[in-house]
Amino acid sequence: MSAEYSILLVDDNPEFTATMADIINGFGWHTHCCSSPEEAFGYLEQHSNKTSLLLLDIEFTTSHLDGLDALAITVKKYPSLPVIMISGKGTIENAVRATKLGAVNFIEKSNISTDRVKEVLISTLERLAVQAQHHDLLKLIEQQGIIGKSKAILNVADKIILYGKTDLNVLVTGETGTGKKLVAQALHAVSKRGKHDIVTVDIPNIPRELFQSELFGHVKGAFSGALENKKGLFHEANKGTLFLDEIGDLPLNLQANLLLPIETKKIRKVGSVETESVDVRFVSATDRDLLSAMREGKFREQLYHRLRECEITIPPLSERIEDIPLIIENYTNIHNRDQQDGKSFSPSAIEYLQNHTWKGNVRELISLLRLVLQIVSSPIIEISDLHGITAPNSQQISVPTSKDQFSVTSDGLLKDDIARADQMKIIATLQKCNGNVSKAAVQLGISRETLHNKIRRYAINTNEYRAR
């Protein structure tokens, strides 16, 4: 490994930082030590471009921020800076939360040794070196609206480049809302056909009786209403790409119309006896299981094999939740630019959205972001702003029955009802956790700092819920 690496170590234990610095310096690398997140942020203001890696403790006595709060801020302000979390009290919950927030690795102080430190740092830096090789690739797909740097999305990007440079027909599969059309556009953009058009065939919305006319064109008088010659979508895509969107929705009786045109690249207008050649590359997309459709006799095997010379399957958002903060940041930046706004999401709100099951995938997430960014007036969007719009898929906690029992009425403001529901859920969780704020924060999926702020805001006395 190169001696040019510079490691920023942030921990409030001077003996530990000195030991770690000695170990890292022994590899021929440079270290800089800070005792608090605030000191580290001050250092990064001046030296972020020279910092290769951040080693960040989970718990601090020198700051109101804990390590997870600092991690969320770092990922937002310095998204290209890799972070390894270090903890003296490592838990699975902390490891999961740290990974969701963007940490690239997680080690415990109890396991610290020269060999262990070297193993973690080298494996991390080698992985980052590989990711750096994908930088141009990620920039390319980002230009097509595909946002992320997870292993799952990098795999998609690799295939876009691999298949895009060929003339092979590509089948793009994935759940609704995963971005199949964006992948099709990226395939076209990287291909030798990129300077020509990509033409979309919106399969579900083409009238069945006009299917052949729409795709292949017609001659004047071919049928009632054909008042002049017309070119079809195959003609428009000549030298470019024809994107057959939602190909799985094409009725069985129309599928045979595509077999010869796809295989021979020859078409004939409706009402004509002349055959024309077209230079077209085919990309198709579907959220249906075409193999099952073939077994059920609903999709022609010959068409499937013509369209699927190679395949790209887009993972659902649930398999790349580490990309959610990047998607949020990207769409928020677009909103702020277009609306001349200055909105942002708090770290706890981002984590809250990562805990949600997005059945509509990226499309559903973006729809929610668009709504929230336009209707929430405060500059920083918190979890309370998201209640009622969506909710995390977590265990339900019953609000204790008391004179303060909350119920929704048609009177008053929506924000007051949301705040009251927020307050009651915090009380219920504190009661369940015997007043332990750290445990309650984990249960609620928010940081301790955020929970402390809410406790102060709602004047909640945690002592009331502690076991006597």
Token output for 29: 């690398």
Token output for 128: 């980052």
Domains of the chain with CATH codes: 6-133 (3.40.50.2300), 145-313 (3.40.50.300), 316-393 (1.10.8.60), 398-468 (1.10.10.60)
Per-residue pLDDT of the chain (468 residues; tens, 9 = 90+): 444 788 999 999 888 899 899 988 888 889 999 999 999 999 999 998 889 899 999 888 878 888 888 998 998 888 878 899 887 765 667 777 888 788 888 877 877 788 888 888 888 877 777 666 666 677 778 888 899 888 899 899 989 989 999 999 999 999 999 999 999 999 999 999 999 999 999 999 999 989 999 999 998 888 888 888 889 999 999 999 999 999 999 999 999 999 999 999 999 999 988 999 999 999 999 999 999 999 999 999 999 999 999 999 999 999 999 999 999 999 999 999 999 999 999 988 898 899 888 999 999 999 999 999 999 889 999 988 887 676 444 333 333 333 345 555 555 556 666 777 788 888 888 888 888 888 888 788 787 778 887 888 788 888 777 765
Lookup result for tokens 């059309």: 181
* CA atoms within 13 Å, Cβ hemisphere of 122: 11
State pTM to two decimals: 0.60
Residue 386: its pLDDT value, please?
86
Residue 143: its pLDDT value, please?
85
Residue 173: its pLDDT value, please?
97
Closest to 438 (Cα-Cα) out of 423, 421, 450, 424: 450
Rounded (5°) CA angle 299-304-310: 150
Residue 439: its pLDDT value, please?
81
Question: Which residues lie closer than 8 Å to 197 by C-beta, 6 or more apart?
Answer: 236, 237, 240, 241
Helix%, strand%, coil% for the chain, nearest 5: 50, 15, 35
Which H or E element spans position 348? helix 347-354
Residue 436: its pLDDT value, please?
84
For 39-45, the CB contacts below 8 A with 24+ separation are: 39/10, 40/8, 40/10, 40/70, 41/70, 41/73, 41/74, 41/77, 43/8, 44/8, 44/74, 44/77, 44/78, 44/81
Residue 80: its pLDDT value, please?
79
The Cα 310–Cα 331 span in angstroms is 31
